[in-house]
Amino acid sequence: MTDKDDQLAQAKQARLAAIVIVVAGVAWIVAVNLGGYLGLPIKFAVLIDLAALAAFFFALVIIYRVWRARQRTGE
């Protein structure tokens, strides 16, 4: 891969992380409010929280990998 291809791949990964963060945050807020409105048991709220945490952790791993790749290339 060329340097330009590496930069493009890193930009795509960073964009994916941003999209995951936004979608997870909005879905989390909507799901928690909807669960409260519908009177769902607390175990569903915990499940929603764990799913959101998993998405945020996934985004954090992607961001870390992009950061390390940029350090290696000297950007």
pLDDT digits (tens, 9 = 90+) for 10-53: 999 999 999 999 999 999 999 999 999 999 999 999 999 999 99
Contact present, 10 and 30 (Cβ < 8 Å): no
Q: Report residue 27 as tokens.
A: 């879905």
Q: What is the pTM of this model?
A: 0.86
Tell me which residue of 73, 69, 71, 50 sits closest to 61, measured CA to CA.
69
Q: What is the mean pLDDT of residues 45-71?
A: 95
The total domain count for the chain is: 1
Helix (H) or strand (E) holding 61, with range, is helix 42-73
Q: What is the pLDDT of residue 34?
A: 94
- Residue 13 tokens, joined: 């990964």
Nearest CA to 6 among 59, 47, 65? 65
What is the domain range of residue 51?
Answer: 3-73
